[in-house]
Structure 1
């Protein structure tokens, strides 16, 4: 009787290996051979699930995006039913920042993907849509006194990305990054905003 193969289990095994290689060595080190070695499977098996490196890269980003969405959703749920816009934005951004070991690997993969797309703009199409959606959400939460909410939202998003880079590089601690975020939110919302 032929052995029944659990394709989801194998895909997860390969995906986990892909994430480890990407987090430890950067996305440029990701190859069918490296991922296969990390997963303890043949390169042919990896190629069965991911035909190209671009497919592996896109999958890695999708995993990071999904994990980030889960963290944001869980953090927002802990806020209750009617948080202030400032608290809502702080919570969302803090959930996306690589503030601990658990989120640092995802941050490394995301940063490596940004670098990857810098020389392959076609691979950045999903990032453009995500960025536009996130900017629109942030702009909608900013106080009405911000005359150009879209520009203020873009600035806050850029601050988040910059803080992420400094956290990953070790230039900032989690406390320093959150203090910088709070200072910027104070500029946007006023010091007395909750």
Structure 2
């Protein structure tokens, strides 16, 4: 009897292999052959999961984005009674990937963002990820400032809340880069992020 293959699990294993290779060699060093070897599957198995290398990279990008988002959700679930301001701080800290255990993830994420500048498919995936984060940040900024509210794409959304959410997302992203290249220490980056949040939440 043929062995049952868990295709979802295999795709995730392949995505993990892509991320490991991207961390070690950059995305330009990711080949289907190396991915298959790292994931311990055949080349044919990789090609049955993904029709093209680009499709594989888009899935891997979504995989790492979901891993980060999952940590954000987990922090919110562990402390359901926390204020919107505290939740916003937790979310921004997770997105910035400043902790040592997330350094490899940060390198891979930035490799994907750089490649997205020349790949329409990757750019679409990155923009979708940022759009979802922006919406979450906007809701939390509005709730922190007004004690509640339901944001959507409605034009009634206060423009200040969305602008502040975009600024916070851009700051978190920028701090990731500054830490990776050694311009800032993780502690200095955390200080910058916390100071910005303190100013935002006191206004």
Query: TM-score if structure 2 supplies the norm length?
Result: 0.81
Residue in structure 2 matched with residue 30 of structure 1 by the alignment: 30
- 1:11/1:186 CA distance change after superposition, 3 Å: closer
Instruction: Report how far residue 92 of structure 1 moved.
Output: 0.6
Change in 2 beyond 3 A, CA 1:51/1:150: same
- Larger displacement relative to structure 2 (13-22 or 63-72): 13-22
Match of 2:39 in 1: 39
| 1:180 alignment partner, one of 171, 183, 192 | 192
- Tell me the C-alpha RMSD between the 2 structures: 2.3
Secondary structure, counterpart of 1:99 in structure 2? coil
**Structure 2: gaps (5+ residues):** 147-157
Cα pair 2:96 2:175 within 8 Å, conserved: yes
CA shift, 1:147, in A, is: 6.5
Give the structure 2 partner of residue 89 of structure 1. 88
1:129, CA displacement in angstroms? 2.7
CA offset at residue 57 of structure 1? 0.9
Q: Distance in 2 between matches of 1:112 and 1:28?
A: 9
Which structure 1 segments of 5+ residues have no match?
none
- The residue aligned with 1:74 is 74
Query: Post-superposition shift, 1:116?
Result: 1.0
Contact 2:98 2:190 in 1 (8 A): no
2:55 counterpart of 1:55: yes
Q: Does 1:163 align with 2:175?
A: yes
Alignment-derived partner of residue 21 in structure 1: 21
Indicate if the aligned counterparts of 1:14 and 1:36 stay in contact, CA closer than 8 A: yes
Deviation at 1:44, TM superposition (A): 2.6
TM-score, length basis structure 1: 0.84
Give per-residue Cα distances to partners, 1:15-73, cap 9 Å, x unaligned. Answer: 33222112222222212122123234432332222221111111111111121121101
* Corresponding residue for residue 97 of structure 2: 98
